[in-house]
Amino acid sequence: MRSEGLNEDARSAVKSADRLLDLFELLARFNGGLSHTAITEALGIPKSSLTQLLKTATGRGYVAYSAAGKSYRLGERFTSMARLTSRRQDLVGLAQPVLERITAQTGESSALNMLKGNDAEVVATVSSSQRLVSHMRLADLAPLYATSGGKVILAHMPESRREEYLDSVSFDPITANTLSSATELRRQIDKIRREGIAYSHEEFTPGIIGLAKAVLAEDGQALGSINVALPAVRYNPRAEALIADALDEAVAELQRQLASADL
């Protein structure tokens, strides 16, 4: 990125970002860690600037300090991020046959959703063969507050990230049933966390009801969500129970397959 034309604050931010990335790349090459002096010499960063950079990075978990060796290395945050990214990629690869089984069991369309910014994105899907059907297309995006798949992802976010979202989200009236306040969304999130299942009652598409459950990582965050969408005219207690059971089986199967990939 060129710094010409940027004001002093912007140039300073670019320099700090470059230094931080240089620090990460340097530490990645030295598993045993490096001392403050060694990092200063390798990167040519003034000691005072490096001290502040390391303080920020260690505070966020991206860098770890060893008092015994008086050295710095990459922190657990990098490991957990790499693991989470790998898990999500694995999940997409495993999802299709599981979705096909859900749709065969329930007769309704199913999908795997993943977080993309402040939206839920459809990354795998199987459509029902019935004449009246809800189509969920690959790469479709929907606000987290409006769909079952989005709500259950939101419910399993780290609390700080979830609160940041709830404090800033703007509720667009997509349908007459779309949620319109953070208070109501918080109430639903609490219920989702207790019961493990999320619902959308014609909140994103008129006439369509959605049910979803999360596929969780080891730390309790949602790797993604599996949802079933069906026309409201086919929704009844029997259909709800059938779909909930199918979702339970699907989530359990995917989490077993993800766990076995580590063995």
Can you give the pLDDT at residue 69? 87
Q: So where are the chain's domains?
A: 8-74, 80-260
Q: Which fold has domain 8-74?
A: Arc Repressor Mutant, subunit A (1.10.10)
Query: Is the pLDDT reported for residue 19 higher than 90?
Result: no
The amino acid at residue 262 is: D
Question: Which of 2-11, 39-48, 73-82 shows the lowest mean pLDDT across its residues?
Answer: 2-11
b/e map of 47-69 (b: 16 or more CB within 10 Å)?
A: eeebeebbeebeeeebbbbeeee
Can you give the pLDDT at residue 7? 66
SS (H, E, C) the chain: CCCCCCCHHHHHHHHHHHHHHHHHHHHHCCCCCECHHHHHHHHCCCHHHHHHHHHHHHHCCCEEEECCCCEEEECHHHHHHHHHHHHHHHHHHHHHHHHHHHHHHHCCEEEEEEEECCEEEEEEEECCCCCCCCCCCCCCEEECCCCHHHHHHHHCCCHHHHHHHHHHCCCCCCCCCCCCCHHHHHHHHHHHHHHCCEEEECCCCCCEEEEEEEEECCCCCEEEEEEEEEEHHHCCHHHHHHHHHHHHHHHHHHHHHHHHCCC
User: What is the distance between the alpha carbons of residues 20 and 52, in angstroms, rounded to a whole number?
Assistant: 11
Query: Is the pLDDT reported for residue 2 higher than 60?
Result: no
Q: Which fold has domain 80-260?
A: Beta-Lactamase (3.30.450)
Question: Which of 110-119, 153-162, 169-178, 214-223 shows the lowest mean pLDDT across its residues?
Answer: 214-223
Most confident of 15-29, 68-82, 214-228: 214-228
**What φ, ψ does residue 204 adopt, rounded to 5°?**
-115, -40
Longest Cα separation, the chain: 70
For residues 205-215, average pLDDT:
97
For residues 130-134, average pLDDT:
91
Which of residues 86 and 237 earns the better pLDDT score? 237
Q: How confident is the model at residue 149 (pLDDT cuts 50, 70, 90)?
A: very high
Radius of gyration of the chain from its Cα atoms, rounded to whole angstroms: 23
Parallel, antiparallel, or unpaired: how do β-strands 208-216 and 222-231 relate?
antiparallel
Question: Which of 34-48, 82-96, 128-142, 178-192 shows the lowest mean pLDDT across its residues?
Answer: 82-96
Most confident of 5-9, 54-58, 229-233: 229-233
CA angle 229, 123, 113 (to 5 degrees): 50
User: What is the distance between the alpha carbons of residues 18 and 71, in angstroms, rounded to a whole number?
Assistant: 21
